[in-house]
Amino acid sequence: MTRRNSRAVAVIAGTGVAEHFRAGKSEEIRTEFGSAFVRRLGRGSFLMPRHGPGHGVPPHMVNYRANISALRSLGITSVIATGAVGSMSPRLGVGEFGLLGQFIDFTRRREGTFFDEGLAHTDVTEPYDRGLNRLLRSAAKEAGVKVREGLVYVCTDGPRFETAAEVRMFRRMGGEVVGMTGVPEVVLANELGMKYSSVVVATNWAAGIQGGVSHEGVTRAMKKAGPVMREVVEITIKRVKEAGRG
């Protein structure tokens, strides 16, 4: 059984990252939105494989409400999300790491809120937590990794990659990286008052910048980045606990 912890931190691990952590066995957490799965990392820290225990749930089918609701029920107050992105900006080369600063939501058919009744308008002017970003930045420095900060993330539904024209449009709008899983996860965490930051790695140039995008290429790049991602996240978790920021 998992006990409630008032200063707990969770990492939501995307493709190619979860398997690099040493964690306990998978535990099912039942929520009013459905089941979610976590593994214990240490005292007051948990790993949630975003795509489920078997990594098989595609981005548009992830039960984001169940995932965030489950973390809340465990008393998690800080969430570190990891993700793979396509880069649309010379600010972030392939294989490089970044922290998100803003998002632009191009998803269309996801359950994106906990507030289906009543009037609740969450302020997401700054959706990613500054304090957590600061800890991630210094963890990256400690791990010897350069991170680009304040990236503008565009979220699509997937599971297909983008067209070249979509990428051109996203760039004109100010988008710098594109992915399929960051929204509504960040929104739901904000709705529940949890601190949330996202560390990403560019696995490829987005569609049309240097030709096409392949799933195999993305997976390969992510596998390569996984150990460094784990190191950055583990240092950050330690610092979160030390700071008692929870």
What is the binding site for ligand HPA (CB under 6 A)? Answer: 84-86, 161-162, 178-180, 203-204, 206, 213, 218
Closer residue to ligand HPA in complex, CB, 154/194: 154
3 state DSSP class of 137: helix
Closer residue to ligand HPA in complex, CB, 148/241: 148
User: How far is it, in rounded angstroms, from Cα 185 to Cα 83?
Assistant: 12
Place of tokens 């304040």: 150
User: How far is it, in rounded angstroms, from Cα 27 to Cα 110?
Assistant: 25
Contact of 201 with 97, CB cutoff 8 Å: yes
3 state DSSP class of 67: helix
Nearest position to ligand HPA, beta carbon: 86
- We find the least distance from the C-beta atom of residue 201 to ligand HPA, in angstroms, to be 9
- We find the least distance from the C-beta atom of residue 220 to ligand HPA, in angstroms, to be 12
Closer residue to ligand HPA in complex, CB, 46/106: 106
Q: Which residues pair with 153 in a beta bridge?
A: 103, 177
Closer residue to ligand HPA in complex, CB, 46/161: 161
- We find the least distance from the C-beta atom of residue 208 to ligand HPA, in angstroms, to be 10
- We find the least distance from the C-beta atom of residue 84 to ligand HPA, in angstroms, to be 4
Q: Which helix or strand (DSSP H or E) is residue 97 part of?
A: strand 97-106
